[in-house]
Amino acid sequence: MIDGRPQRIMLPVNVGFMALTTLLALLFNLLPWRDMSGLPDMLALVITFWCTHQPRKIGIGAAWILGLVMDAANGALLGQHAFAYSVLAFSAAQLSRRILWFGIWRQALHVVLLLLATQLLMLAVGMAAGGTFPGYGWFAASGIAALLWPVITFMLLLPQRRPEVVDVDRPL
Amino acid sequence: MEHQPPPFFNRGPAPLVRLMFFVVLALFLMVLDARFHYAEPLRAGLALLAYPIQRVALAPVQLASGVVDFFSSQVRLQRENEALREKQLRLARDLLTFEALAAENAHLRQLIGARERTPRKVTLAEILYAGRDPFSRKVIIDKGGRDEIEPGLPVVDDIGVIGQVTRVYPLLSEVTLITDKDHAIPVQVVRNGLRAVVYGAGDGTTLELGFMATNADILNGDELVTSGIDGIYPAGIPVARVARIERDAAYSFAKISCVPAAGPGRHTQVLVIGRDAKLPPAPEVRQARRTPAKGRRGRRRE
């Protein structure tokens, strides 16, 4: 977050906002997409975001339950997303202090690796359960999701950026 | 006495312990689901939980299509109307002969003492969305156990077979497409009546005609329809067309690729065809299993 640049002191996060954004990400994933190739897993991205920024407010358990809902809604093997998401939440929380130290694009580099690892876990589970190989294009989804990382960071930190006391006389 | 940290610093079990707990729980669930099918009540509960979210997610899409429908030009509607009228005229002629033929058929069947074919119950359903699981080919339709949908029922559109209901929730059900790797349909070649079984190839677009001898009488462009001997699919519904045949003397079976006749990409409305009421009940319900044809296919691949 810093890179020699001054760091802004933020407001504490609102847990309701965290829950709302996670729900919205789940909603995005449940939209009726016709073509799934290269579609970013928005829920995984938001879980990564909150686990790096607020590792004490959201945990592995929440990620696990969200994964289970994803599995049930998509008719996937029950536990496939739950397994991958809980590992993702753990790694993101463990790496949070390291990741936040970097600038936004280098953070995205970390994120693409985390998401790729999640996809690899899902692939391992899916193939072990007798699934079809979805093709290499499926992995592009992680890259696209990582490109969205700066957008997500800007949007999800907006409520914490607003000033606590609104001064009408302030020029900015 | 062991030193306890003050409650201020107490954050519960270590992250690694928590991770292990949830990973083991997930693995346990996966085994339970894939091998023993004990997780269905949990799945049904979760699906019911996700249902309102799905409905909300579908709302903007349905609204958009509604707006598009509203503003669709009169010219297009007129053209569509003309095409439909033309088609109806064409079909009406066929229908006249069909009724005569059906009566004749029933009479002949009575004469030879064969079982009369009964019309099956048909439910109109709409495809809500395609499952996001990249390892299987499934779509979710908007009719479920409340509308008497059962696992195993065939799903067709106006062209041919789309798939089979594999899982039923109260309000939704899950349809495995014929292109799914684990899906098999008994078919018959229209040209010569040869019976065979078609499997999904797993790449999402093609089917494979399995276990046909290298010298089997199958040509490019042959139409495959359901044979009806399974008692699940009604006979004579188009399934696929043979697209490519590789006859290699090194293998005992020919590799025959087919292109499905119908597909979920065309329309959102599908028909779920009910069971044939006159058939005796199947000895064991196996349609709900995830991997019905896996063992045989696994051996063949080796």
What are phi and psi for residue B175, nearest 5 degrees?
-110, 120
Nearest to B181 among A77, A122, A132 (CB): A132
Which chain B residues contact residue A129 at CB under 8 A? 30, 34, 135, 290
* A7-44: pLDDT as tens digits: 777 888 888 999 999 999 998 888 777 666 778 889 99
Q: How far is CA B262 from CA B23, B160, B194, B252, B266, in A?
A: 40, 5, 21, 30, 8
Please report the pLDDT score of residue B299 as a whole number: 42
Residue A9 lies in a domain: no
Please report the pLDDT score of residue A56 as a whole number: 86
Please report the pLDDT score of residue B293 as a whole number: 46
Identify the closest residue of chain A to B265 by CA–CA distance.
Answer: A34
Ramachandran region, residue A2 (left: φ > 0; alpha: ψ -120 to 50; beta: rest): beta
Joined tokens for residue B239: 């399934």
Q: Strand, helix or coil at B295?
A: helix
Tell if the pTM clears 0.80, that is, is over it: no
Shortest alpha-carbon distance between residue A106 and chain B (Å): 25
Please report the pLDDT score of residue B268 as a whole number: 75
Identify the closest residue of chain A to B175 by CA–CA distance.
Answer: A75
Which chain A residues contact residue B138 at CB under 8 A? 74-75
* Mean pLDDT calculated for residue range B59-67: 81
Is B29 close to A78, i.e. CB distance below 8 A? yes
Q: Is the pLDDT of residue B44 over 90?
A: no
Please report the pLDDT score of residue B296 as a whole number: 43
Interchain contact B25–A (C-beta under 8 A): yes
Query: At B159, is the pLDDT very low, low, confident or very high (cuts 50, 70, 90)?
Result: confident
Residue among A35, A31, A24, A30 nearest A156 (CA)? A24
Is A83 close to B27, i.e. CB distance below 8 A? yes
Identify the closest residue of chain B to A73 by CA–CA distance.
Answer: B47
B117 vs B122, higher pLDDT: B122
- Rounded Cα gap, residues B259 and B241, in angstroms: 5
Close Cβ partners of B181 (under 8 Å, ≥ 6 residues apart): A130, A131, A132, B136, B137, B199, B200, B201, B202, B297
Residue A165 lies in a domain: no
Domain that holds residue A62: 15-30+39-159
Please report the pLDDT score of residue B302 as a whole number: 38
Is B50 close to A73, i.e. CB distance below 8 A? yes
**Ranges of chain A with pLDDT below 70:** 1-6, 34-36, 164, 170-172
Domain count, chain A: 1
Ramachandran region, residue B211 (left: φ > 0; alpha: ψ -120 to 50; beta: rest): left
Query: Alpha-carbon torsion B29, B34, B37, B40, what sign?
Result: positive
CA angle B285, B290, B291 (to 5 degrees): 95
Which chain B residues contact residue A66 at CB under 8 A? none
Q: Is the pLDDT of residue B298 over 50?
A: no
Taking the domains of chain B in order of start, what are their residue ranges?
41-117, 123-273
Q: Is the pLDDT of residue B300 over 70?
A: no
Residues 270-289 of B with CB under 8 A from A: none
Joined tokens for residue B82: 């003309």
Please report the pLDDT score of residue B5 as a whole number: 65
Identify the closest residue of chain B to A127 by CA–CA distance.
Answer: B135
Q: Residues of chain B with pLDDT > 70: what percent?
A: 85
Q: Residues of chain B with pLDDT > 90: what percent?
A: 7
Q: Strand, helix or coil at A17?
A: helix
B143 vs A135, higher pLDDT: B143
Please report the pLDDT score of residue A32 as a whole number: 73
Shortest alpha-carbon distance between residue B51 and chain A (Å): 8
**Architecture label for domain B123-273:** Beta Barrel (2.40)
Query: At B295, is the pLDDT very low, low, confident or very high (cuts 50, 70, 90)?
Result: very low
Shortest alpha-carbon distance between residue A93 and chain B (Å): 9
Is B128 close to A33, i.e. CB distance below 8 A? no
Please report the pLDDT score of residue B284 as a whole number: 67
Indicate the residue type of A132.
T
Q: Is the distance from CB of B200 to CB of B176 less than 8 angstroms?
A: no
Nearest to A27 among B11, B53, B134 (CB): B53
* B202-233: pLDDT as tens digits: 777 888 888 888 888 888 888 999 988 888 88
What average pLDDT does chain B have?
81
Residue A57 lies in a domain: yes
Query: At B46, is the pLDDT very low, low, confident or very high (cuts 50, 70, 90)?
Result: confident
Please report the pLDDT score of residue B294 as a whole number: 44
Pairing status of strand B223-226 against strand B207-210:
unpaired
Residue among A125, A71, A67 nearest B131 (CA)? A71
Residue A164 lies in a domain: no
Query: Cα-atom radius of gyration of chain A, to the nearest Å?
Result: 17
End-to-end CA distance of chain A: 23
Close Cβ partners of A106 (under 8 Å, ≥ 6 residues apart): none
Please report the pLDDT score of residue A61 as a whole number: 92
Residue A7 lies in a domain: no
- Rounded Cα gap, residues B286 and B232, in angstroms: 12
Close Cβ partners of A136 (under 8 Å, ≥ 6 residues apart): none
Which chain B residues contact residue A78 at CB under 8 A? 29-30, 32-33, 39, 42-43
Q: Is the distance from CB of B119 to CB of B158 less than 8 angstroms?
A: no
Classify residue A133 by its DSSP letter: -
Which chain B residues contact residue A33 at CB under 8 A? 129-130, 132
Give ipTM to 2 decimals.
Answer: 0.83
Q: Is the distance from CB of B157 to CB of B175 less than 8 angstroms?
A: no
- Rounded Cα gap, residues B272 and B287, in angstroms: 15
